[in-house]
Structures are given as C-alpha cells and as structure tokens.
Amino acid sequence: MSEYKAIDNITIERGETFEYVFQIEVGGAPLDLTNYLIYAQIREFESRSSDLIGTFAVTVDDVAPPNAFPTDSEVKLYLSQDDTVAAGFLNYSEGWYDVLFVAPGGERTYYLGGRVYIEGTVSQEI
C-alpha cells in the first residue's frame, strides 16, 4: 500500500463498539475536508488484494472549540458491536488498516494507517 503520512496502531476488542477520532493537518493548518471522500478498511495483510476483515464507517464533524481553526474537521472511524463480531473479526487476530482520502479533484492520499490488533474476550453471560 501507499506510504502513510502518519502511522498509528490500533486495538479492537471483539464484541465492543470501536471509535477512533483524529484530525488531519497540512502545513500546520487543519485540512478542509469539504467534498472529500474517505474510505477505511482492515485487511489481513498490507495489500489491497488480501482478505477484507472489515470496513469502518467514516464520519466527518466540523468542530470549533476555543482557539481552534473554524474549519477544523474531526474524522471518526467507527465499528459497531455487531461489526466487531462479524466473520472477519472472528477469523483473525491482527491485520492492517489505512484511511484513504480522495480530494474533490481526484488526488488520493493515505493519511493514516497501521497495524490492527483484534483481541477476544473469554467470559460470557450464561
């Protein structure tokens, strides 16, 4: 896959909701994500042709806390509890993810990626 602008390894617990929130800055200023398309997937290996483990729901929220740029955008990757117990998550204990940003003009950039560690639980309600 492409060279990432940032690397951050993540851990996902099976059966738990997962959220990961981040912001993208370019040249010290927040990137205006208006009209961007954003895709995020987890695969077995660092290759587009390897098995797909899961796909994140991606949302972008504009935030303007004190002392922030008015165009700050938070990107959230999300998996529901049901997502984290789907077949892909049951069959793998680790993989790779990345986040692809496609600009309105078509420029593609992988801003974030890394390892995914999928941890199971052993106790259940009886």
Whether 64 has a pLDDT exceeding 60, the answer reads no
What's the whole-number mean pLDDT along residues 68-73? 57
What's the whole-number mean pLDDT along residues 45-65? 86
C-alpha closest to that of 79 among 107, 59, 109, 49 = 59
pLDDT per position as a tens digit, 99-121: 999 999 999 999 999 999 999 87
Q: According to CATH, what is the number of the domain 6-119?
A: 2.60.40
24 pLDDT band, cuts 50/70/90, is confident
Q: Domains of the chain: which residue ranges?
A: 6-119
Query: What pLDDT does residue 1 have?
Result: 43
pTM of the complete model = 0.84
29-36 own/partner pairs: CB under 8 Å, 24+ apart? 29/69, 30/68, 30/69, 30/71, 30/72, 30/73, 31/73, 32/71, 32/73, 33/60, 33/73, 33/75, 33/101, 34/104, 35/104, 36/60, 36/101, 36/102, 36/103, 36/104
Q: Give the integer Cα–Cα distance in Å for 124 and 13.
A: 14
C-alpha closest to that of 63 among 32, 28, 98 = 32
